[in-house]
């Protein structure tokens, strides 16, 4: 029998490690959205002194690569300090899994995003964000790379849906090249707000549709 993935991927897919929710998580994040395809939630428990990840769990609404990557990153991150865990890359996860198909990078990179976002969430909640980088157009654009264009399953920046971005006095406005009444307009608006609002100096996010 021939399957489209490595033995290791199939193993993690069949028996994912560290699955579930941590009710009293110190840091948590959900990335992706059902409207756009895959979705991953990551929960971490952190030892306050050493900043080590003592426990980590994940949940996935995704394909085989997504589930397997979620599983492997929990193994890779467990016991690591937050700084170490932040540096885990998609490439490392892919190597640990014996290789992932390139075309599935999008589905699997989401799990890495989930881990980094959970760490960020911990840092934000525990006042650990030391350097406050002021929000600029570039910062916004970078964050929007994590908002998916449901029409293609690729991000809104790469698919050229994001038009003008304006950052002024704590208010951010983003123009999206889609009609206001487009079926995915509400999802995209919500996702953009979700990604930009947590920035420390942002007070207001406005999304305009023009297409």
Partner 1 sequence: MADRTVYLDNAAATRMDERVLEVMEPYFFNVYAVATSEFGYSMGLDARDALDSARGVIAGALGASREEFIFTSGSTESSNIALKGVTRALDDKKGKHIIVSRIEDFPVLHSARALEKHGFRVTYLDVDGEGFADLDLLGDSISDETAMVSIQHANQEIGTIQDIEAIGRICRDKGVLFHTDATHTFTRVPLDMREMPVDLATVSPHTIHGPPGIGGLYIREGTPIAKLMDGGFQEFDKRAGPENIPGAAGFARAVELVTQEENDRLKAMRDRLIDRVLAEIPDTSLNGHRQKRTPQNANITFHFVEGESITLHLDMRGFAVSTGSACFSRSLEASHVIMGIGGNHETAHGSVRFTLGRYNTMEDADAVVQEAAEVVRKLRKISPLGKNKK
* Residue 27 found at the interface with partner 1 (CB under 8 A): no
Residue placing its CB nearer to partner 1 in the complex, 43 or 122: 43
Residue placing its CB nearer to partner 1 in the complex, 43 or 209: 43
* Residue 99 found at the interface with partner 1 (CB under 8 A): no
* Residue 21 found at the interface with partner 1 (CB under 8 A): yes
Under 8 Å CB-to-CB from 52, ≥6 apart: which residues? 46, 79, 80, 81, 82
Residue placing its CB nearer to partner 1 in the complex, 135 or 187: 187
**Quick one: which segment of 55-63, 74-82, 83-91, 194-202 binds partner 1 (CB under 8 A)?**
55-63
CB of 145 to partner 1, least distance (A): 17
Per the listing, tokens 């916004």 go with 140
Q: Which of 9, 29, 31, 36 is catalytic?
A: 36
CB of 136 to partner 1, least distance (A): 31
Residue placing its CB nearer to partner 1 in the complex, 42 or 162: 42
CB of 173 to partner 1, least distance (A): 26
> Long-range contacts made by residues 175-179, C-beta under 8 angstroms, separation at least 24?
175/207, 175/208, 175/209, 175/210, 176/207, 176/208, 176/209, 176/210, 176/211, 177/210, 177/211, 178/209, 178/211, 179/209, 179/211
Q: What is the DSSP string of 25-92?
A: -SEEEEEE-TTTS-EEEEEEEEETTTTEEEEEEEEEES-HHHHHHHHHHHHHHTT-BHHHHHT--HHH
**Quick one: which segment of 47-55, 85-93, 98-106, 162-170 binds partner 1 (CB under 8 A)?**
98-106
Angle between helices 64-77 and 105-125 (to 10 degrees): 40
Helix or strand (DSSP H, E) at 205: strand 204-209
Using CB under 8 A, count the residues that bind partner 1. Answer: 39
* Residue 36 found at the interface with partner 1 (CB under 8 A): yes
Q: Is-catalytic flag, 63?
A: no
Cβ distance 162 to 174 under 8 Å?
yes
Q: In this structure, what token pair is assigned to residue 43? A: 């929960």
What amino acid positions are annotated as catalytic residues?
36, 107
Q: Which residues bind partner 1 (CB under 8 A)?
A: 1, 3-5, 10, 13-14, 16, 19-21, 30, 34-41, 59-67, 103-104, 106-107, 150, 152-154, 183-184
């Amino acid at each position: 029998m021939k399957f489209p993935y490595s033995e290791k991927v199939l193993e993690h897919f069949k028996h994912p490690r560290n699955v579930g929710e941590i009710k009293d998580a110190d840091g948590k994040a959900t990335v992706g959205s059902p409207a756009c395809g895959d979705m991953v939630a990551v929960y971490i428990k952190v030892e306050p002194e050493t900043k080590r990840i003592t426990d980590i769990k994940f949940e996935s609404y995704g394909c085989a690569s997504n589930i397997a990557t979620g599983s492997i990153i929990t193994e890779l991150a467990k016991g690591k300090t937050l700084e170490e865990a932040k540096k885990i890359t998609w490439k490392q996860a892919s190597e640990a899994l014996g290789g992932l198909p390139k075309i599935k990078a999008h589905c699997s990179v989401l799990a890495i995003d989930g881990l980094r976002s959970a760490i960020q969430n911990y840092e934000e909640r525990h006042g650990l964000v030391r350097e406050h980088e002021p929000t600029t157009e570039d910062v916004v654009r970078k964050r929007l790379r994590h908002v998916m264009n449901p029409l293609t399953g690729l991000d809104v920046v790469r698919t050229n849906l994001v038009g003008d971005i304006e950052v002024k006095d704590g208010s951010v406005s983003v123009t999206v090249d889609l009609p206001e009444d487009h079926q995915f307009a509400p999802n995209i608006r919500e996702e953009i707000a979700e990604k930009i609002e947590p920035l420390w100096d942002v007070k207001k996010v406005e999304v305009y549709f023009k297409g």
